[in-house]
């Protein structure tokens, strides 16, 4: 069974600095997708970034980028120029490639990010 591990329950960063959130996963499949979701205090789950396993190039979305290491099964999120609005719980999630009975997401336990002014 696939598992997703986030080993940092809490992180803190100064405004305008850079922070990296860690995520590792375990799977025997070669085709899959990885996601980072942000959950602010409003509890809304917001997609931050997505990575396809077959792509070697790391995904980027403005100030958010990932470091995808397929062999190491590592998928970290880097937030550059941190802003107060980045404060939230961040979840790493895994989904198998299309073709299975379900496209369910498997989530890690989350990392709570605080941004200090």
Partner 1 sequence: NAGVTQTPKFQVLKTGQSMTLQCAQDMNHNSMYWYRQDPGMGLRLIYYSASEGTTDKGEVPNGYNVSRLNKREFSLRLESAAPSQTSVYFCASGDRGLTETQYFGPGTRLLVL
Residues found near partner 1 in the complex (CB under 8 A): 4, 33, 35, 37, 42-47, 50, 52, 91, 93, 95, 97-98, 101-110
Q: Which is closer to partner 1, CB of 65 or CB of 112?
A: 112
3 state SS of 86: helix
| Residue 11: CB minimum distance to partner 1, A | 16
Environment class of 43 (CB within 10 Å of its CB; exposed 0-12, middle 13-18, buried 19+): exposed
| Residue 98: CB minimum distance to partner 1, A | 5
| Residue 15: CB minimum distance to partner 1, A | 27
| Residue 84: CB minimum distance to partner 1, A | 21
Q: Which is closer to partner 1, CB of 1 or CB of 71?
A: 1
> Can you tell me the distance from the alpha carbon of 70 to that of 111, in angstroms, rounded to the nearest whole number?
21
> Can you tell me the distance from the alpha carbon of 30 to that of 70, in angstroms, rounded to the nearest whole number?
9
3 state SS of 14: strand
Q: Which is closer to partner 1, CB of 50 or CB of 78?
A: 50
Pairing, β 88-96 against β 106-107: antiparallel
């Amino acid at each position: 069974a696939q598992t997703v591990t986030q080993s940092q329950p809490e992180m803190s960063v100064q405004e305008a600095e850079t922070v990296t959130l860690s995520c590792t996963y375990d799977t025997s499949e070669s085709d899959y997708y990885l996601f980072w979701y942000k959950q602010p205090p409003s509890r809304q789950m917001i997609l931050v970034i997505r990575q396809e396993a077959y792509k070697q190039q790391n995904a980027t979305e403005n100030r958010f980028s990932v470091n995808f290491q397929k062999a190491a099964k590592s998928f970290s999120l880097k937030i550059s120029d941190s802003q107060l609005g980045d404060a939230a719980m961040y979840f790493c999630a895994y989904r198998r490639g299309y073709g299975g009975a379900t496209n369910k997401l498997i989530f890690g336990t989350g990392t709570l990010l605080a941004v200090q002014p």
